[in-house]
Amino acid sequence: MKKILILILMTIVFINAQTPSAEMILEKIDENMTSENQVVTSKMIIHGRRASRIIESKSWSVGDSKNFTEYLSPAREQGTKMLKIDDNLWIYTPSTDRIIKISGHMLKQSVMGSDLSYEDMMESQELTENYDAKVTGTTVIDEVNCWVINLIGKVDNLAYHKRKIWVDKNKYIPLREELYAKNGKLLKRMELKDIKNINGRWYPTKMIFKDMLKRGQGTEFVIDDIKFDQNIPEYKFSKAGLKR
Amino acid sequence: MIKFLLKGLIRDRHRSLFPILSISIGVTLTVLMQAWVTGILGDMIDFNARFTTGHTKVITRAYSENMQQMASDLAIVGVDELTDDLEKEFPNMNWINRIRFGGLIDIPDESGITKSQGPVVGWGINILTDNGSDIERMNLQKAMRAGKIPTKSGEILMSDELAEKLNVKVGDDATFLGSTMFGSMAMQNFVIVGIVHFGTTALDKGAIIIDFKDAQEVLNMENATSEILGYLPSGKYNNELASEIANDFNSKYSNSEDEFSPKMLTLSEQNDLKSMLEYMDSIIGIIIFVFIFAMSIVLWNIGLIGGLRRYGEIGLRLAIGESKGAVYRKMIYESVLIGLFGSLFGTIIGLGFSYLLQTKGLDLSSMMQNTSMMIQSVYRAKITPLTFYIGFIPGLFSTIIGTALAGIGIYKRQTAQLFRELEN
C-alpha cells in the first residue's frame, strides 16, 4: 500500500515537472516566432456576407513596435500604406495624397473589411506584460498535443480581457486562440495552420480570423513569403516613407 | 326668444360673464393645444419623411435589421434596374436614391497634417443628379448659413456645429475616412463649399452632405444605394396608401430566403413613427374629452351656484305657472348661447396665440443639446381647418352638460312650498 502511494505521488510530481509554467511557454513562443525584423508578402482572403475578395500586401516589421504595410492589389487598394510606430497608426492613400493618423473609434474599425481591426494590429504581442497566464490543461488539435493556457488581463483598457491559447507542445506554436470580452463573450477566434519550418523557425503560414460579432465566413491570412532578419532601411518607418 | 334670452344674459352679468370667461379660457387652451400638437407631430413626421424615412423606403432585408448602423455593405445592388421597375410599377410616386454613411472627417492644416478630426454622419443626396431634387426636399437653400450649394463633384456641405467644432470655414479642405461597400478604407478629399444649419441637433452636431454620385464613388457603390425613398404624389403621408404600395411591392420583390432582396417599409414602420401617428390620431380626442369632462364639472358648479342665486327667480317663475320643463329648457338654451359666445371668444384668442406660435415657433434647442433623435429644435403650431371649429365641441358640450346637471334641481322644487319659500 505504501509503495502504491509513493508511486502515485511520484507520478504526480513527474507529471507536474513535465508541465512548464505558462510564462515559460509564452517565452518559448516568442523565441520561436519573434525575430529582429521580418518582411512578409501575404494575401488576405476576406469572406464577406456577399462575396469573397483577395487583398495582397507586403509588410516590413521590427519586433512589435514598428510595422509598415503597403497594399499591392486590388487596383482600388494599390498604393495604400499603413505605418505603425508603437501606439500610433497612420494611413496614406495615393488618391488623397494625405497621411492621416487613425485614432479613437476608428481603431475599432475593420482593416479593409476583414475580421481584424486596427486595434488588433496595434496590440502588443508581449502577453506576459498585460496578462496573468496559467496552464489549465492539455488537449489534442488535429492530432497535435497542445497546452491550453488561460490569460486574464491584469491592466485596464485591454481590447480583450481574457484569452485562451492552445499551444503545440513540441513546436511551441499557438494553434488556436480565442479572445473574450470582460463579460465573458467570445469576440474573436483565430486558427493558425500550415506550420512550416522557415530558416529554423516553426511558423504558421495560414491564419484564419473570425470576428464572432460579424456575419461572414471569416478572413484567411496567407503568408506567401516571409524573410527574417533583413536589412530594412530606417526611412521605411517614417511618415515620409509613406509618400515614397 | 333668443333676443329675450340674450337681453337676460347681458343685463344679468352674473349669469353670463363668469361662464363665458371660463369657457373662453378652456376653448383657448383647446384650440392652442390642437394647433400645437398638430404642428409638432406633423412637423416631426414631415421632417422624418424628408430626411430619413420617405413615405416609403426600399432597403435590403439585411439592412432593415439594423438601419441605424447605415451599413453600406448591406446596400441594394442593381439599383438602376430596381428604380426603373419602381417607376413602372408605381408611376405616381417620386423615387429617389440616397446613401447614408458614417465615418470620420479630417481637416488638414497648411502642410497637410491633421488639424482637427471628428466623427460624421454623411448623406449622399441628389444635388447634382436628378435635377437637384433633394435641395428643395431637404430645404437646403433655407438651411444655408454660409457659402453655396455644391455645383460640382468633390464639394460638400457641413453642418454648422461641426464646422465650428472643427474650426473650418467655407473653402477649406476636408478628407473623409470611412469604409467602402466592401469594407475597404474609403478616403476622399473634398472642399467645403457651404455651412448649413438643419435645426435638428442630431444633424447639426455632425453631418456632411455630398452629391449622390460622389457618395457612390467614395464608397465604391457602383449601381448601388443604401436606400430608395418613395414620396406620395400629394406630398402628404397617407398610411393606408403607403401600406398598400409596400405590400404590393413586397409580395413581388421581397424574398425572405434572400437577405439581400429588397424590402419596402412605410414611414410608420420606421423610427418608431407608428406610435407617433397613432398618438396624433388619439391626442385630439383626448384633449376634447378631458376638456369636456373638466369644464362640465366647473360649469356644473357654476350652474349650482347660479341656481342658488336664482333660487328665488326660478321659484317665482314656477309659482306664476311656468312649467318646470320650460324653465329647464330655457336654462339649456341660455347655456347654448353662453357656450357659443365663450367658444367664439376662446377660438379667436386661441387662433391668435396659435398664429403667433406658427409664425415665430418655440426654439427648444438648448434643451436638446444631447439628443441624437431626428427631431427639429424649433417647434411650431399649425392652424388647420379643424383648429377653427374644434373649440366649439367642448365649449358647447361642457356648458350644456354642466347646466343640464345643475338644472336637475328644478324638478325637485315642490310647487306647494313655493309661496312659503318666497315669503321667506
Strand partners, B144: B196
How far CA A78 is from CA of A71, A94, A182, B106, B192, in Å, comes to: 5, 9, 38, 22, 27
Which chain B residues are within 8 Å of A91, Cβ to Cβ?
177, 185, 187
Residue B365 belongs to a domain: yes
> Could you tell me if B362 and B318 lie in one domain?
yes
pLDDT at A15 over 60: no
pLDDT at B127 over 70: yes
How far CA B217 is from CA of A71, B212, B220, in Å, comes to: 20, 9, 5
**DSSP class of residue A117?**
B
> Could you tell me if B98 and B31 lie in one domain?
no
> Could you tell me if B19 and B127 lie in one domain?
no
Give, for B165, the enclosing helix (H) or strand (E): helix B160-166
CB contact under 8 A, B182 and A48: yes
How far CA B77 is from CA of A219, B227, B236, in Å, comes to: 23, 10, 29
pLDDT at A42 over 50: yes
Of the ranges A71-85, B240-254, B322-336, B340-354, which one carries the lowest mean pLDDT score?
B322-336
The CA distance from A179 to A192, in Å, is 14
Which chain B residues are within 8 Å of A97, Cβ to Cβ?
112
Backbone CA torsion sign across B112, B116, B118, B123 = negative
pLDDT at B55 over 80: yes
Give chain B's count of helices (H) and strands (E). Answer: 16, 14
Query: Is B206 in contact with B376 (CB distance < 8 Å)?
Result: no
- pLDDT-derived band at B19 (thresholds 50, 70, 90) equals confident
The CA distance from B105 to B82, in Å, is 32
Cell of B131: 435635377
Q: What is the pLDDT of residue B351?
A: 95
Q: What is the pLDDT of residue B167?
A: 94
CB contact under 8 A, A113 and B182: yes
Residue B175 belongs to a domain: yes
- Condensed to tens digits (0 to 9), the pLDDT of residues A108-118 reads 778 888 898 88
CB contact under 8 A, A98 and B108: yes
Chain A, chain B: beta-carbon pairs less than 8 Å apart: 65
> Could you tell me if B215 and B71 lie in one domain?
yes
pLDDT at A89 over 50: yes
Residue B114 is nearest to which of A46, A97, A100, comparing CB atoms? A100
Picking from A44, A71, A91, A98 by the largest number of B CB atoms within 10 A of its own CB, the best residue to mutate is A98
pLDDT at B33 over 90: no
CATH class in words for A21-63+102-230:
mainly beta
CB contact under 8 A, B106 and A53: no
Chain B residue whose CA is closest to A74: B184
Say if A88 is an interface residue toward chain B (CB within 8 Å): no
Instruction: Compute the nearest-CA separation of B193 from chain A (Å).
Output: 18
Of the ranges A91-105, B135-149, B173-187, B286-300, which one carries the lowest mean pLDDT score?
B286-300
Amino acid at B167: N
Interface of A with B in 63-82 (CB under 8 A): 76-77, 80
CB contact under 8 A, B114 and A101: yes
**DSSP class of residue B367?**
G
From B214, B231, B248, give the residue that closes a domain: B231
Q: What is the pLDDT of residue B139?
A: 83
> Could you tell me if B149 and B207 lie in one domain?
yes
The CA distance from A130 to B1, in Å, is 96
- The listed range with the strongest mean pLDDT (A124-138, B77-91, B377-391, B392-406) is B77-91
CA distance between the termini of chain A: 77
Chain A residue whose CA is closest to B107: A100
- Give me the number of domains chain B comprises: 2
Residue B73 is nearest to which of A48, A99, A103, comparing CB atoms? A48
Q: What is the pLDDT of residue B61?
A: 93
Q: What is the pLDDT of residue A14?
A: 46
Chain A residue whose CA is closest to B182: A113
> Could you tell me if B326 and B284 lie in one domain?
yes
In this prediction, residues A183-202 reach a mean pLDDT of: 92
Q: What is the pLDDT of residue A13?
A: 46
Chain A residue whose CA is closest to B258: A50
Residue B250 belongs to a domain: no
**Where do the domains of chain A lie?**
21-63+102-230
Q: What is the ipTM of this complex?
A: 0.77
CB contact under 8 A, A77 and B177: no
In this prediction, residues B35-47 reach a mean pLDDT of: 84
The CA distance from A231 to A240, in Å, is 19
Backbone CA torsion sign across B77, B81, B84, B88 = negative
Q: What is the pLDDT of residue B375?
A: 57
Instruction: Compute the nearest-CA separation of B189 from chain A (Å).
Output: 6
pLDDT at B419 over 90: no
Rg (CA), chain A: 20
Q: Is the peptide bond before B385 cis (omega within 30 degrees of 0)?
A: no
Instruction: Compute the nearest-CA separation of B242 from chain A (Å).
Output: 30
- pLDDT-derived band at B372 (thresholds 50, 70, 90) equals very low
Amino acid at A4: I
> Could you tell me if B184 and B215 lie in one domain?
yes
Instruction: Compute the nearest-CA separation of B82 from chain A (Å).
Output: 19
CB contact under 8 A, B183 and A91: no
Interface of A with B in 143-202 (CB under 8 A): none
Phi, psi for residue A46 in degrees, rounded to 5: -100, 115
In this prediction, residues A63-87 reach a mean pLDDT of: 90
Residue B87 belongs to a domain: yes
Of the ranges A168-177, B50-59, B131-140, which one carries the lowest mean pLDDT score?
B131-140
Residue A95 is nearest to which of B104, B188, B260, comparing CB atoms? B188
Number of Cβ atoms within 10 Å of the Cβ of A176: 19
β-pairing, B114-125 with B207-211? parallel
Query: Is A69 in contact with A55 (CB distance < 8 Å)?
Result: no
Residue B387 belongs to a domain: yes
Query: Is A174 in contact with A167 (CB distance < 8 Å)?
Result: yes
Cell of A46: 476576406
- pLDDT-derived band at B369 (thresholds 50, 70, 90) equals low
User: Higher model confidence: residue B195 or residue B183?
Assistant: B195
The whole domain housing B386 covers 2-47+275-423
In this prediction, residues B85-97 reach a mean pLDDT of: 94
Instruction: Compute the nearest-CA separation of A123 from chain B (Å).
Output: 20
Q: Which residues of B72-106 are buried (b: 16+ CB within 10 A; e: fewer)?
A: bbbbbeebeebbebbeeebeebbbbbbbbbbbbbb
| DSSP alpha helix (H) spans, chain A | 2-18, 22-33, 118-122, 127-130, 239-242
DSSP for B86-139, please give it: HHHHSTTSEEEEEEEEEEEEEEE-TTS-EEEEEEEEEEEESSSSGGGHHHHHTT
Of the ranges A18-27, A63-72, A181-190, B70-79, which one carries the lowest mean pLDDT score?
A18-27
Of the ranges A58-62, A98-102, B144-148, B298-302, which one carries the lowest mean pLDDT score?
B298-302
Q: What is the pLDDT of residue B22?
A: 83
Residue B268 belongs to a domain: no
Our measurement of the distance from residue A146's CA atom to the centroid of its chain's CA atoms, rounded to an integer in Å, reads 18
Vertex A105: Cα angle to A99 and A109 (nearest 5): 75
Residue B238 belongs to a domain: no
Q: Is B208 helix (H, G, I), strand (E, B) or coil?
A: strand
Q: What is the pLDDT of residue B218?
A: 94
In this prediction, residues B52-71 reach a mean pLDDT of: 89
Q: What is the pLDDT of residue B214?
A: 95
Amino acid at B41: L
- pLDDT-derived band at B307 (thresholds 50, 70, 90) equals low
Residue A98 is nearest to which of B73, B74, B175, comparing CB atoms? B175
Q: What is the pLDDT of residue B371?
A: 52
Which chain B residues are within 8 Å of A110, Cβ to Cβ?
179, 183
Query: Is B393 in contact with B290 (CB distance < 8 Å)?
Result: no
Residue B185 is nearest to which of A46, A53, A80, comparing CB atoms? A80
- Condensed to tens digits (0 to 9), the pLDDT of residues B187-223 reads 999 999 999 988 777 788 899 999 999 999 999 999 9
Residue B239 belongs to a domain: no
How high is the mean pLDDT of chain B? 85
pLDDT at B116 over 80: yes
> Could you tell me if B43 and B60 lie in one domain?
no
Q: Is B287 helix (H, G, I), strand (E, B) or coil?
A: helix
Query: Is A151 in contact with A162 (CB distance < 8 Å)?
Result: yes
Q: Is A210 helix (H, G, I), strand (E, B) or coil?
A: strand
Residue A53 is nearest to which of B62, B175, B182, comparing CB atoms? B182
User: Higher model confidence: residue B421 or residue B30?
Assistant: B30
The CA distance from A116 to A197, in Å, is 26
> Could you tell me if B104 and B204 lie in one domain?
yes
Query: Residue written as cell 337681453?
Result: B7
Which of A240, A241, A224 lies closest to A42 in space, CA to CA? Answer: A224
Residue A95 is nearest to which of B104, B117, B187, comparing CB atoms? B187
Of the ranges A184-193, B20-29, B245-254, which one carries the lowest mean pLDDT score?
B20-29
CB contact under 8 A, B106 and A80: no
- The listed range with the strongest mean pLDDT (A9-18, A60-69, B329-338) is A60-69
Which of B102, B155, B104 lies closest to A98 in space, CA to CA? Answer: B104
> Could you tell me if B86 and B167 lie in one domain?
yes
The CA distance from A89 to A109, in Å, is 13
User: How would you classify residue B346: left for phi > 0, otherwise alpha for psi between -120 and 50, otherwise beta?
Assistant: alpha
In this prediction, residues A65-84 reach a mean pLDDT of: 92
For chain B, how long is the longest CA-to-CA vector?
107
Question: What percent of chain B is predicted at pLDDT more than 70?
Answer: 88
The CA distance from B403 to B398, in Å, is 8
> Could you tell me if B150 and B190 lie in one domain?
yes
pLDDT at B5 over 80: no
pLDDT at B301 over 50: yes
> Could you tell me if B211 and B92 lie in one domain?
yes
